[in-house]
Amino acid sequence: MSGEFIGERAGPMAFRELTPVTFLERAAAVFAARPAVRSGDRLFTYAEFWDRAQRLAGVLAARGVSPGDRVAVLAPNTHVLLEAHYGVPLAGAVLVALNTRLAPQEIRYILEHSGASVLIVDASLDAVADEALAGEHPPLDRIGTGDYERLLSEAEPHRVPVTDERSLLSINYTSGTTGRPKGVMYHHRGAYLQALAMALHAGLTPESTYLWTLPMFHTNGWCFPWAVTAAGAVHRCLPKPDPAEIWKAIREEGVTHFCAAPTVLAMLADHPDAGPATTERPVKVFAGGAPPWPSLLRRMTALGIDIQHLYGLTETFGPAVVSIWQPEWNTLPEEERAALMARQGVANVIAEPLRVVGPDGRDVPADGTSMGEILLRGNDVMLGYYRDEAATLAAAHDDWFRTGDVGVLHPDGYVEIRDRIKDVIISGGENIASVEVEAALTAHPDVLEAAVVGVRHPKWQEVPVAYVTPRAGADVTEAELIAFVRDRLAHFKAPRRIVLADLPKTSTGKIQKNMLRERASSLADDLGES
């Protein structure tokens, strides 16, 4: 049989448009009676989950939602937001999951910019929605969770087939810390493949229970709403990442997996309930958002938490890079293992190999010291920014996505982030990576977390200033911490000032360095001229 014959006659039989919705369709057939979703005091099987998703699509269709329309959801991590990850695309619509910690005017901007025609609102956020929608003409079609169950029970199951796997699935808005938030466009194909990558790298199985500590509105929960379902595992919804609730879920509900930013992990390690996890196997955790410091990794390992670091952005469907653990590293000394775990890693299984390029656009040597910007591309890269062609073009470099992150490539091919380009501190012509200084500070036993920013200086251009949150009950001084860093790093890298304070964070646990830079600017006149 010729290759030409196969290509001409077997196409329809051998090809189906990829969409993550099919994971739930399959799970409903294979795991029909198994538990799928635990949300509050409610439990749904996979058969029920699939039925509810189709009925949500029916609710939307009955309200006039057509293929391509945008449907926004303002809800914490509950079954409603999880069901929307299937029900909205089943209606042929585009999901816009809203950050629940945004101000009403920010939510209003996203609703207007996305052109959403329907807004599903959790009752706990009614007041925020009221303010965001005040005076809107014409008024947005709004579905409250008080009516949600009734509407589902009355609706007919509905499904619009996906005819183009590269069509728009969702729009995820960036945090907007340096301006208006940008709408990152995801396609069905990318979400499908990224979900499979996450299921594989996390080791999800039908025996797994995934705890929703990561907000589903953030990068569509790193595609885990679809990955957990693909594996036939249990979604355990958690409206907010409360350390006490996390420890309780681990010990009493058999949680096997969750995702978290290093700041959430630091809260867990420092919580009174922290102690060896009473599970047969370590709990598998994906950590992202910022490089986890080695001292935190050692503490979490002692608590029965197996951390795998990863790296990605909203523009890359979440984790595009995974720090894959090599079995040969198990015999290394603890300090070496922690340093290897803190690296960001290699491209995930569906991504293209990454690049690190210098200012001239050429790849830097893989020597672990030459720094450059990390570039990514592949099926897990966005279609572009919604209604923002200029920003889309600016993010590209010879058909590669520019991350804005500075890193080094090690001889074994693993990348390690040194800083955001905007966070590199240039002092006396020398580059200081804030991540390196933060790692030195968090090695102190009395430090919970730290953030380092640059402040203008009349002689050195910039000098580092640190903001540090001490551990509960600790009695540590600024002078002590500066001396501690100077014992570990070159003196010019040590902070000129250290402010002991709680650190401002985004809704996903990232430290807001833009706010710290503003605060630190007031210290510039007190840093001296030498």
In whole angstroms, what separates CA 303 from the centre of its chain? 23
> Cis before residue 458, ω within 30 degrees of 0?
no
Out of 78-92, 456-470, 485-499, 515-529, least confident range: 515-529
Nearest Cα residue to 74 out of 20, 127, 152, 137: 127
Over residues 70-85, the pLDDT tens digits come to: 999 999 999 999 999 9
Bridge partners, 313 (sequence order): 318
Strand 168-173 versus strand 183-187 pairing type: antiparallel
**Residue 297 tokens, joined:** 């990794």
Q: Which superfamily does 424-530 belong to?
A: ANL, C-terminal domain (3.30.300.30)
| Residue 10 confidence (pLDDT) | 54
Mean pLDDT to the nearest integer, 269-294: 82
**Does 191 or 276 have the greater pLDDT score?**
191
Mean pLDDT to the nearest integer, 488-492: 85
Mean pLDDT to the nearest integer, 381-396: 95
- Where exactly are the structural domains of the chain? 424-530
pLDDT band at 212 (very low <50, low <70, confident <90, very high): very high
| Residue 211 buriedness (CB in 10 A; 0-12 / 13-18 / 19+) | buried
Backbone phi, then psi, for 187, in 5-degree steps?
-110, 160
Question: Which of 171-175, 371-375, 420-424, 491-495 reaches the highest mean pLDDT?
Answer: 371-375
Give strand ranges (E) for 81-215.
Answer: 94-97, 116-121, 141-144, 168-173, 183-187, 209-212
Output the average pLDDT for the chain: 91
Backbone phi, then psi, for 392, in 5-degree steps?
-65, -45
pTM recorded for the entire structure: 0.84
Over residues 4-59, the pLDDT tens digits come to: 545 555 567 778 999 999 999 999 999 999 999 999 999 999 999 999 999 999 99
| Residue 26 buriedness (CB in 10 A; 0-12 / 13-18 / 19+) | middle
pLDDT band at 397 (very low <50, low <70, confident <90, very high): confident
Q: Name the amino acid, one letter, at 87.
A: G
How far from 50 is each of 21, 57, 91, CA to CA, in Å? 10, 11, 13
| Residue 137 confidence (pLDDT) | 62
> Taking a C-beta distance cutoff of 8 angstroms, is the pair 51, 75 a contact?
no
> Taking a C-beta distance cutoff of 8 angstroms, is the pair 13, 5 a contact?
no
Mean pLDDT to the nearest integer, 458-475: 89
State the Cα–Cα distance between residues 96 and 73, nearest whole angstrom: 6
**Does 291 or 48 have the greater pLDDT score?**
48
